[in-house]
Amino acid sequence: MTGVRSNGATAGTTSARIERMPAAELTQLDPGSDPVIERYKQDIDRTLIRENLRKSHEERLLTLQRMQRFVDELHAAGKTARRAP
């Protein structure tokens, strides 16, 4: 749908209501007015987001694969530790 923002600006508004909303009204929805969202934003490291967005798709997939291997190693180490007397 033209004019619909998909960046979370419509949080708290039902999708049916958003579909009927004129584009001008959509721009008036402000996610910054929600104190819960504001609190979560304090804990987001935007430099990591920017760093990841600079990567190519392939680089992001390689990073994901490395992270998954690390998680697999953690699971294996946990199993070994639980079996040890």
CA distances to 14, 57, 81 from 62, rounded to whole Å, are 37, 9, 29
The pLDDT tens digits along the chain (85 residues) read 444 444 445 456 666 776 676 666 655 666 557 788 778 888 889 899 999 999 999 999 999 999 999 999 999 999 999 997 7
In angstroms, the CA 8 to CA 60 distance is 23
Domain that holds residue 27: 1-44
Q: How many domains does the chain have?
A: 2
In a domain, 5, yes or no: yes
In a domain, 50, yes or no: no
Do 32 and 60 lie in one domain? The reply is no
Do 60 and 38 lie in one domain? The reply is no
pTM: 0.48
User: Is-contact 62 42, C-beta < 8 A?
Assistant: no
Do 4 and 38 lie in one domain? The reply is yes
